[in-house]
Amino acid sequence: MSCNANVSQYFSFCFLQMSSKCNSVTTCVWMLHSFFFVFIAGHALFNGTSVQTVHRGMSVNISCNYKPSTDSDDIVELKTNGTLCCSAMNSNKSWIYRPCRNHFRFIWIPETVQMAFEISNLQINDTGTYKCVVTRSIPPPPVLLREERTFVQVIAQPIVSVSHISALGGFPTILCSSEGFYPSALEQLWMRNGEFQNASLTHSINKTNPDGSFTLHSYLNISDCVNYSCWVNHSSLSQPTILHMSPTDCYENRDRFNGYNIQIALFISSLLTSVLMIITAMCCPYRACQQHVSVSVTSDSELKTVVLYSILSDHHPVSYSNCHLPKTDYSSLLFQ
């Protein structure tokens, strides 16, 4: 049975075990000394981890739960993930403060003879387990006196918004956005006339922001204008947040989107009409050449000129440079 498993409960058992094995006074003294060392070290190493939940931007104090003596030199350190954040040393009944990382500082309260570390302006990346370690360096060898662990959970509230973003079949698609929240677990649902909608009817997009927070977008295609609401729940909220969209907003947005659709339809119709007119204009000269002109061809073996005569009311030669005639027998183009 281990002596350091629960010292207060098994003290008598361990003492009897050691006494039965003592062959001399020196041996018993040595074993008792070892026992009390195990008691101190075990108490330092097997403390549970406390948890502190703090909102982003706030501060937290991590207590070391240790009162240093006045006749020894103690070093107090705050570490996380093996990295030293801040430290101080008690030497000759005075504290020597060492450089600390940004927004970390050591706190000494002489009235209560207590010490702690403060972390200010907490951000999401400050979430983690912190260890306050107290070590006695003089007289040597160094002895671990205390190790206090604290898990700091930084939370961030979601910024919730609702909006109309597009039109589908005359009715808009509505969007609910929760931005900048941490941790990632978040519930976001749509409600119609106070009743939750099936999550399969929505389309959601999750993304991670550069600061480590999260954003969730939920889209819902609606087919009528009634009371729609977005319901959001998160560990950083004291109660769920509900944002409402009134039917009036729905109708106004639907009419606006319908107006946009009409303008787009008119624009496309005008564009198609213009394209058809351009195509017709490009084809018209060739038809005019075939249907409304006669061609007189010189008898020269090498045809160098083509004279076009209009068969309309005004019979005089017309220069028609855009009329592309075949390079074969031009006599076949004579008007009958």
CA distance 88 to 100: 9
The domain defined by 48-155 folds into Immunoglobulin-like (2.60.40)
Q: Is the peptide bond before 317 cis (omega within 30 degrees of 0)?
A: no
pLDDT of amino acid 45: 40
Q: What is the pLDDT of residues 120-138, one digit of tens each?
A: 999 999 999 999 999 987 7
Q: Which residue has the tokens 């309309």?
A: 312
Q: Which residue has the higher pLDDT, 92 or 170?
A: 92
pLDDT of 165-187, one tens digit each?
A: 865 555 678 999 999 999 999 99
Numbers of helices and strands, H then E, in the chain = 3, 20
> What pTM did the predictor assign?
0.58
Q: What is the pLDDT of residues 263-299, one digit of tens each?
A: 666 677 778 887 887 887 776 555 554 554 444 444 4
The pLDDT score that the predictor gives to residue 167 is 58
Cα gap 167→265, rounded to integer Å: 14
**Contact yes or no for 263/270 (Cβ under 8 A):** no
- Percent pLDDT > 70 in the chain is 62
pLDDT surpassing 60 at residue 211: yes
DSSP 202-264: EEEEEEE-TTS-EEEEEEEE-SS-S-EEEEEEETT-SS-EEEEE-HHHHHHHHHHHHHHHHHH
Higher-pLDDT residue of 309, 65 = 65
Between residues 278 and 18, the one the model is more confident about: 278
As a 3-state breakdown, the chain gives helix, strand, coil percent values, each rounded to 5, of 25, 40, 30
Distance CA 3, CA 14 (A): 6
Q: Is the pLDDT of residue 27 over 70?
A: no
The CATH class, in words, for 159-255 is mainly beta
Mean pLDDT of 301-324: 49
Query: Which of these, 64, 71, 112, 111, lies nearest to 88 by C-alpha position?
Result: 64
pLDDT exceeds cutoff 80 at 245:
yes
